[in-house]
Amino acid sequence: MKREFVEVGGKQYPLRFGIGAAKAMSEKFGSLEKMADLFNELPESEIIDVLTWLLEALIRQGCAYKNIFEADLPIPENAPVIDGKYVPVTAEQIEVGLEITNIRNLQEIIFGTIASGSKPKVETKPKGKDTKNAETA
């Protein structure tokens, strides 16, 4: 899975679109499709609120994933870690720590994370006689 990070206040926060984030988004917006439609309907100030909420949800999931499944991996120097645990950022910290000039880039990162987390993983293993012949050729 592709890993996305976003810098807030000099720290690199991990982003993850898993079941928990999808559930929170569906509860807040009704569906992921409805959420995407909001970007064509809402005024800019409300779009910023939605982006902030989405970023906070994805960071929360990213930090939880790191703490649960990657706790044994080395911690980067600029990671948001306190006492060995990744600590998510709050909406207020996001609003203070990000520049408005980064809003378009932020939208791309958020939707890129959602898209990469939505793609099914398909693993294929060769079967049959043709594979065996190919290995010995």
**pLDDT tens string 12-58:** 999 999 999 999 999 999 998 898 888 889 998 899 999 999 999 99
In the chain, the percentage of residues whose pLDDT exceeds 70 is 83
Q: Which residue pairs, CB below 8 angstroms and at least 24 apart, start in 83-86?
A: 86/14, 86/62
Which residues constitute the domain of residue 73? 4-136
pLDDT on residue 39: 85
Q: What pLDDT does residue 131 have? A: 45
What gap in Å lies between CA 129 and CA 49, rounded to an integer? 57
Residue 14 backbone phi and psi in degrees, to 5: -75, 145
User: What are the CA-CA distances from residue 90 to residues 31, 66, 72, 120 (Å)?
Assistant: 23, 17, 25, 30
pTM given for the model: 0.82
Query: Cα angle at 47 between 54 and 34, to 5 degrees?
Result: 70
Say if residue 10's pLDDT is above 50: yes
Among 35-39, 79-83, 90-94, the range scoring the smallest mean pLDDT is 35-39
11, 78 in Cβ contact below 8 A?
yes
Tally of domains in the chain: 1
Kindly state the tokens that stand for 35: 């959420």
Q: Does pLDDT of 110 surpass 60? A: yes
